[in-house]
Amino acid sequence: MVTGTGWIFDNGLWYYLDHDKVVTGWLFDKGNWYYLYPKSDDNSHIEGSMAKDATIQGWYVDSSGKWITEEVNSNSNETSDSSLTENEDDDLLTLIKHLDNVAKNYGSILDLSNQNRRVLNLLRYYKYGNTGSMFTQISWMGTLGDDDSDFVAHVYGTDDFDKISPYIQKNSIEGIIHGKKTDLPHLAATTLGYYSSPLVPDFWTGWGGDLATAMSDVSKLLSKGTNKTPYKLATEVIGDDSYTCPRLDIEADIDAIQLSSILDSDTIGNLLDNYFQNVDGNVRRQILFESLGFSDTPSVEELNNAIYNMMTGSSGFGNKLKGWTLTRLAKYNNAPPTDEVVKAVTLAFSEYIINKL
């Protein structure tokens, strides 16, 4: 009997255990994805054993068990870059649409949630769940509401969960929908925030929260000693994957504004299918501009003024009852950002939206 915790090698096979219990499905460990076989009805694989030299759900794992970020070409023995394949589009959208049906058939008359909330909570739960410290749990509950943990538990361990798991974990892979990359957990959490955030202003769950953490990033870089100005550092931080306000987060923040406004009109799968067919930088710019009250395309100065005022005014840091929670995201070493840093980040963000999105 295989026992222990972590990776265990037994009778020529690798297993990953969590307190003597074998883990199955996709596993992210030390920067790599592995697949551990679930229980097999035909005994073709031992439950919990690691796959190697195999194609799992369209993804190839090599002789060491590592997923190599390439998808198998079904028409040959070669592999091809899967970053923008229609096959992945189809598979991911089909999977989300199937989860829509699972969510539709779940619950009872006493269940206060709804189908779309269940699917969005599943997509965000493992990366942005109501877990951790009591403060974190209260913060997520106040930001996104109930997490539908009963539905998440219902899906956990199923084939659907194994297939969606690589896209929704803390170190998730990017989803591809109609050739466009997206961070599904971020998109789901932000959409929920815009749709029904019970305690905080909507934009805090989206670009406002990301700008606050970008301010913390800039303050941290300044603390290390540099000849660069706060503005120069801000232009390097905004949109960069190395920091907390990367391009995919900015795109998801804006996508969520639109998706939340039509969330009751269709299922999640259909909404994503239709939206990602046509979205691009110009579409996203217009969504953000309209959400800020602009009827025409603003100048960088006009956009910056609107964003700076929202971040610092009564709906942002200046909110007398809840502003401290947004300020907490912007702090570095328990110190709030200086006004110079705040202005630098809002200006860099405004320029990024108009010139680079």
What confidence tens digit (pLDDT) does each residue in 164-210 have? 998 998 877 889 899 899 999 999 999 999 998 666 778 988 999 99
**How many other C-beta atoms can be found within 10 angstroms of the C-beta atom of residue 248?**
16
Are the CB atoms for 148 and 135 separated by under 8 Å? Answer: no
Spans of the chain, pLDDT less than 50 = 1, 70-86
pLDDT of residue 133: 60
CA atoms of 125 and 192, how far apart (whole Å): 12
Handedness of CA 196, 271, 190, 26 (dihedral sign): positive
Chain centroid, CA 352 distance in Å: 21
- Give the tens place of pLDDT for each residue, 260-287: 999 999 999 999 999 999 999 999 999 9
How many Cα atoms within 13 Å fall on the side-chain side of residue 274?
11
Q: Which residues contact 47 (CB under 8 A, 6 or more apart)?
A: 22, 24, 37, 38, 39, 40
CA atoms of 9 and 212, how far apart (whole Å): 45
Q: What are phi and psi of 4, to 5 degrees?
A: 125, -160
CA geometry: angle 85, 72, 77, nearest 5 deg? 130
